[in-house]
Amino acid sequence: MSRDGALATPSAEGRNRPQKKRWPDLSPSQRAAIVLAAIVELILTTVALQDLARRPRKEVRGWKPAWVLTCFVQPIGPILYFLVGRRRSRSWSDCRYCVQRLSE
């Protein structure tokens, strides 16, 4: 055992390296954090791909197939698409008009 309590396995060079933790070795809070992060990544990717599919080509910066591939680079891809990949085509007044029209 190493100093931090992790099991050590000999490496090819003869040194001891800490063994990776397996799912049963994680605490409940660590498991919950991993599951929550996976759900957030799945939601972000799904929303980004839906937005990309519905958005006209003129409102996307760059080549749409490249953005599709970028969305699968987790977790930065979908965030990058939302921050950089979309063009702002509508003004706030247009958006308020759409919301008012939908609420009628």
* 57-71 pLDDT tens trace: 999 999 999 999 999
Do the domain assignments include residue 22? no
What angle (nearest 5°) sits at the alpha carbon of residue 102, between those of residues 96 and 103? 90
Q: What is the pTM (predicted TM-score) of this model?
A: 0.65
Q: Count up the domains in the chain and report the number.
A: 1
Task: Kindly give the residue spans of alpha helices, DSSP state H, lying in 1-104.
Answer: 28-54, 64-71, 76-80, 92-103
Look at residue 42 and tell me if it is in a domain. Answer: yes
Would residue 5 count as lying in a domain? no
Judge whether 12 lies within some domain.
no
Would residue 31 count as lying in a domain? yes
Distance, CA of 2 to CA of 45 (rounded, Å): 39
- The rounded distance, in Å, linking the Cα atoms of 45 and 79 is 9
- 54 lies in a domain? yes
Average pLDDT (81-96) is 74
Using DSSP's 3-state secondary structure scheme, residue 22 falls into coil
Tell whether 58 is covered by a domain.
yes
**Domain presence at residue 8:** no
Q: What is the DSSP secondary structure assignment for residue 55, as one 8-state letter?
A: S
